[in-house]
Amino acid sequence: MNARTETELLLPPMHSPARLSNTHLDALEEETVFILREVAAAFERPTLLFSGGKDSLVLLKCAEKAFGAGRIPYPLLMIDTGHNFPEVTAYRDQRAEELGADLIVRSVEDSMARGTVRLAHPGESRNAHQSVTLLEAIEEFRFDALIGGARRDEEKARAKERIFSHRDSFGQWQPKDQRPELWTLFNTRLAPGEHFRVFPISNWTELDVWQYIEREHVGLPSIYYTHKREVVERRGLLVPVTELTPPRDGETVQVRDVRFRTVGDITTTCPVESLAADAGDVVLETLSVDVSERGATRMDDMTSEASMEKRKKDGYF
């Protein structure tokens, strides 16, 4: 072990400020800003997918830095399942207004009314059907680039995703035939009807996101922090009790201290038990968790090993 000890002498001690620099977050932010500008410059009709969730709020923060406050050069697009947490919808609208951004909302319920979305049964999750509404919005506005807040650390299919992901005219991802992505020479050439999905925070992890939220004081919907909520325990998850997700026979409703690690469709998103009241607390929890963000919170991903991959092939972002 002599070699290692000698090298250690050359490095600053573990707790010195040099070792705790923000270099890593700065590098991630710089990469994200570079990509956001590339989209603004290379495409004619880009949009930024904005759900009001933490990843899209971090993206927006980076966009503010890239373009200056109030100058984001593309509209925000929200695909509304109609099954949203009210705190998230309210915060989404508030942020868009503060930024003076153009917010476009297209809803799965409208697609259902048009008959382009058919549910197998009334209680079915609308998550997968978002793809249909999304593709309809792309056609309506002729978007050629859609910026999303997906991260490669979220899920195995996401880990394979390019930063500039080419989609055919059906919005399909072709995982076996992705364009090589060399250096930062992004090939953004398109045929009519095709578009790109662009993921500027691909290289961020859940921990990076929370450390950035803490450092930059990024505001989030309140349900990301501890609150008391009625839940039932189901298959190891805490299922929130709402009008859309009532308790089943034999289940006991309990009030627990919880927060959401991720937000999405009410029918598929579960909170975790937590007392974390601010971003600093969440950073600490994230450092010590032993279940992944999706494993702890998403009912739909558990149904099939490849459900994310399948949805992405269908045009999901």
Partner 1 sequence: MSTITATLDNTALHGDTGTALRFITCGSVDDGKSTLIGRLLVDSKTVLQDQLAGVQRGGETDLALLTDGLSAEREQGITIDVAYRYFSTARRKFIIGDAPGHEQYTRNMVTAASAADAAVVLVDATKLAWAAEVEDGTVVKRELLPQTRRHTLLAHLLRVQSVVFAVNKLDAIGDAGLAFERISTALNAFAEAAGVQVAAIVPISALKGWNVATRHADWVGYEGPSLLELLEELPVTVQDEAVPFAFPVQWVEKFSASADTSQGRRVFWGRVASGHVEPGQRVTVLPSNQTATVAQVLSHTRQPKVVHAGHSAGIVLDREVDVSRGDWLLAPGAFEPVREITATVAWLDDEPLVAGRVYWALQGHRWVKAKVARIVDRVNITTLESEPATQLEANSIGDVVLSLQQPLAVLPFTQSRTLGSLVLVDTASHKTAAAVLVQPAAAKA
Give the residue, chosen from 7, 9, 44, 249, that forms a contact with partner 1 under the rule CB under 8 A.
Answer: 7
Decide if 188 contacts 164 (C-beta within 8 A): yes
Question: Residues 3, 115, 243, 248: which binds partner 1 (CB under 8 A)?
Answer: 3
Task: Decide: is 169 part of the binding site for partner 1 (CB under 8 A).
Answer: no
x/- map, 96-135, partner 1, by CB under 8 A = ----------------------------------------
User: Where in 187-246 is the site for partner 1 (CB under 8 A)?
Assistant: 187, 189-191, 202-203, 205, 207, 211, 214
40 binds partner 1 (CB under 8 A): yes
- Dihedral sign (CA 155, 159, 164, 169): negative
Encoded amino acid at 314, one letter: D
Q: Report, in Å, the least distance between residue 170 CB and partner 1.
A: 17
Rounded to whole angstroms, how far apart are CA atoms 209 and 262?
12
Report which of 8, 99, 25 is spatially closest to residue 57, judged by C-alpha positions: 99
Integer Cα distance of 147 and 132 in angstroms: 17
Binding residue for partner 1, selected from 45, 178, 193, 234, defined by CB under 8 A: 178
Calculate the alpha carbon distances from 185 to 76, 85, 145, 180, 313 in Å: 26, 39, 17, 10, 25
Q: Which of 30, 124, 140, 168 binds partner 1 (CB under 8 A)?
A: 30
* Binding of partner 1 by 38 (CB under 8 A): yes
Helix pair 206-216, 23-42: axis angle to 10 deg: 90
Nearer to partner 1 by Cβ, of 142 and 156: the residue is 156
The yes or no reply on residue 182 touching partner 1 (CB under 8 A) is yes
Alpha-carbon span 82 to 79, nearest angstrom: 9
Site for partner 1 in 279-308 (CB under 8 A): 280-281, 283-284, 287-292, 295-296, 305-306
Residue from 5, 6, 9, 23 that binds partner 1 (CB under 8 A)?
A: 23
Per CB under 8 A, contacts with partner 1 among 251-280 are 277-278, 280
Nearest approach, Cβ of residue 231 and partner 1 (Å): 19
Least gap, CB of 211 to partner 1 (angstroms): 8
Residue 96's Cα: distance from chain center in Å?
A: 17
Q: Which residues contact 311 (CB under 8 A, 6 or more apart)?
A: 127, 128, 131
Q: Cα 15 vs. chain centroid, distance in angstroms?
A: 33
Name which of 95 and 162 has its Cβ closer to partner 1.
162
Helix (H) or strand (E) holding 161: none
Nearer Cβ to partner 1 (107/292): 292
* Phi, psi dihedral angles at 279 (to 5 degrees): -60, -35
On the CB side of 92, CA atoms within 13 Å amount to: 26
| Cβ 178 to partner 1 shortest distance, Å | 6
| Segment contacting partner 1 by CB under 8 A, of 8-16, 52-60, 240-248, 258-266 | 8-16
Token readout for 9 is: 């002498």
Which of 37, 45, 227, 234 touches partner 1 by CB under 8 A? Answer: 37
Residue 175 CA, chain-centre distance (Å), reads 20
Instruction: With contacts defined by CB under 8 A, name the span among 66-74, 95-103, 105-113, 134-142 that binds partner 1.
Output: 66-74
